[in-house]
Structure 1
Amino acid sequence: MPSPKSKTGALLSIILIVTIWGSASAVTKVAVESIPPYFFAFLRNGVAAICLIPYYLIHKKKMQLLQAGPPMKKVALMGLTGITFFYLFFNMALYYTTAAAGALIQGFIPISIILLSIIFLKERLRKVQIAGVVCSMAGVVLIGFVGEFYGARNAILGNTLMIFAVLAWGFYTIISKSLERYDAVQLTAISTTIGTLVLIPAVAIELWRTAEFPSVSFKAWLAVLYLGIFSSAICYILYNRVLKTLSGVQVGNFMNFDPVIGAAIAIIFLSEKVTVWQILGALLVLMGVALTSRRGRTKQ
């Protein structure tokens, strides 16, 4: 596995992350057809926590960390935003909409980070960056709310929930970036554990409403293990480490490939259809991201 400590290692790591995360929409779509969405979120992140905690304890002992622990309020917020709320919205979104549409909407993540930075960090954009934000927002509208959605239970609801998932991830990234001086393994292990535990009430209500304990198929267990080990445990550690080496703009630029990979996988392996409106919307989102990622993006 590439080491994110060097620039080359960080670039290889973000490519690996984007490839694995690009497949997450299609894999989740298959899983939530047989497992209730909240229960699947708990299983996936439970597997991630089981992998992360021993690794963190071994890592801490080996490295003999003398650094003071991170502020637990912020770590808890990482867990709530990047685990609890993100997967509650993400999994439920993919139950209602298509994997392709969900993946394309995730292209809005870099813009969501910028918008949240404007609101909470008081950053300001130049006119060209403002145009980029508007362009991307228009693209999301075309992807999620215009035209036909073949094979979706309720595309409008699902796509709206995916927007909330994107915003939750934007919060997670901003909080994670503010803690970049702390150990990434520690941050990921603790925040994942907290976020997974907070999922329990939602899972309990979901299972109570279904009035039966779901039967998890072999294929669904493979999805749980793949997403829990690779997409959550490994990629979350790499992502938090990459944020220490690469700039937010560089990370955002690579994350643009996530929706493209996700949509391609959904089309090839799930036989989903992408409309002209969705393709046009995806192009607008990418154009908007390109505009907002230009040098001198923000003014303090």
Structure 2
Amino acid sequence: MRRSSRTQTCRVADPGDDVNVEHSAASFLDSHADRADAPGPLMALPNTAPSEEAGATPAAELPGQLPRTSAHDVVMHEGSRSARLREIKLLIDGRLRLGLRATFTRYGLRRDLAVPITNPNAKVPISVRPLEPSDLPILLAENNHLEPQERVQIAWRKDFYKKAPEGCWVAVDERSGTPCYMQWLFGASENPLIRTFGGFPRLEPDEALLENAYTPVACRGLGIMSAAMALIAERAAEIGAQKVLTFVGDDNIGSLKGCQRAGFHPDLLNKRVRLLYGTISSDTFETLPADDPRRTLQF
């Protein structure tokens, strides 16, 4: 069933609601492309990490294979008090950056799985599978060389995983078995959970939501986002979905291009208003008219 042309949701954040911070982050640090990719509320703060287009690695410099890392090579210190305090500080900083009022516009992009596409290829061979706990220290590794903004992106996803440990998929470099990309796929049965995130419409029974993508710094510039996103979207059929939605800021051209290569096209327009440092949020969703030229934009 087609959702109404205009729906609106309003949400007051619970104290300490870190997931909602990430959503504020979703438009502010917009997340999709290989720039950190998308908190897509799961996605919402302005992302300054390089997009796949902006940060592409010259072919002569491409690695023979992505770095091989194991959970033993990277210590995340998830249980340490200092690490958790650092994550909380980053999340609070993200909320403060929203100020008293912040507004964002995002495209709701849709892929119809009944319409065949030629899947894009990454510069390294990849396959996708559900995330395993041992993938987290590799995908969300921290070190002293990361920019503060990158640390925010990692902190958001660590926190989001605690709220939604199921439904995350990863892309794996087939040559080494190293995970190189992550993104969550939700079906309509998870509408109650999605509602707690804020920033998304209620899914119809034949719809799925693909959000909160992240590509580790070492794996960017290899076309992984588009290729992985196309493959993960196809897994939505396994949970009864025929259409897949994802949300990207209207000014995040790199991410919009990547999603378009993965078979996604504009279908909705989302207006987001965040008040009082993101503690109050309001979202309006409009279905683009059938003849709206934005439906056929080439980013």
**Normalising to structure 1: TM-score of the pair?**
0.31
TM-score by length of 2: 0.31
